[in-house]
Amino acid sequence: MTKESTYTAKLPGPNGLYDYTPEEDAIWGELYERQMKLLANMACREYLDGVKTLGLRPDKVPQLLDVNRRLSETTGFGVEGVPALIPPSQFYELLSQRKFPLATFLRRREHIDYIEEPDLFHEVFGHCPLLTNQSYANFVRRFGETAVHLGKGYSWHLFRIFWFTVEFGLINTPEGRRSYGAGIVSSPSEAKAAMKGTECEFRPFDLMSVLRTPYRIDIVQPIYYVIDSFADLEAIIEQDIEGAILKAKSLGDFAPTFEAKAS
Ligand SMILES: [Fe+2]
């Protein structure tokens, strides 16, 4: 959650359940229906299978307890509701423990099309379905472990791997290029832009290139990196990440393909 956020964290009751209002259920439902229509031919099969495995439905905001149970039954992963912005060290620590940290508030209607900070829809609908895929779940855990091991000095570059995979990754499939990144599958504008492909560039995933690519969080992405399989994704994080980051630092960043953010 950003410092300027007008949202407050939602806390669970003593039974571990979160209380969502009928309006929040309706907003979840609208977002769910709209994205599922868009994603039928845009998202990869593993993601769409994951939506079913988690039992996500349009009529109700899902409870984290249910998501947690279904995930742990499939890949041993879990989720943890976090009250607000958490420091990167805690974020990485949780991933290394096979727990995906989730913001638990849901966007209001005025932000139904776009919200900069991650809300529950982005977190659960965007991130959780693929955590039912073992290779993907292994990648996320190993990413967390690597980040914890390498520490702060590597965090900036390391997060680029996360950004261009978990958040904005695409994958080649027999049916064509499909989305798997949470920032794409949970956002109508990003999903449409990524599939239209006229104002962005698709590059084959290459660790060194990813480590040298700057990004902005508040624009439709101008560059996407495309993997060939989730087994490949799992292998990426087993490379010498420390050595690769040191090399990327010495080579320097690619020139940004976007305008600097006005302050
Ligand atoms: Fe995210």
Which residues face 176 on adjacent strands? Answer: 173
| pLDDT at 240 (0 to 100) | 97
8 Å CB contact between 194 and 225: no
* Token pair in block for residue 132: 């039912």
pTM of the model: 0.94
* Active-site residue identified among 167, 179, 187, 234: 167
Would you call 199 helix, strand, or coil by DSSP? Answer: coil
* Active-site residue identified among 96, 186, 187, 234: 186
Instruction: Measure Cα distances from 214 to 26, 59, 198, 211, 256 in Å.
Output: 37, 39, 20, 8, 6
| pLDDT at 6 (0 to 100) | 84
8 Å CB contact between 137 and 40: no
- CA pair distance 207, 35, nearest whole angstrom: 30
Give 157 Cα–ligand 1 centroid separation in angstroms.
17
DSSP 229: -
CA dihedral 146, 96, 125, 119 (to 10 degrees): -90
* Active-site residue identified among 96, 122, 123, 190: 122
Count CA atoms within 13 Å of residue 172 on its CB side: 9
Give 122 Cα–ligand 1 centroid separation in angstroms.
6
8 Å CB contact between 166 and 182: yes
Judge whether 122 counts as a catalytic residue.
yes
| pLDDT at 260 (0 to 100) | 77
Give 1 Cα–ligand 1 centroid separation in angstroms.
11
- CA pair distance 116, 190, nearest whole angstrom: 12
CA angle 39/160/228 to nearest 5° reads: 50
Ligand 1 (ion): residues with CB under 5 Å are 118, 182
Q: What is the pLDDT along the chain (263 residues), one digit of tens a residue?
A: 555 678 988 999 999 999 999 999 999 999 999 999 999 999 999 999 999 999 999 999 999 999 999 999 999 999 999 976 789 999 999 999 999 999 999 999 999 988 888 999 999 999 999 999 999 999 999 999 999 999 999 999 999 999 999 999 999 999 999 999 999 999 988 999 998 888 899 999 999 999 999 998 888 899 999 999 999 999 999 999 999 999 999 999 998 887 877 54
Give 167 Cα–ligand 1 centroid separation in angstroms.
6
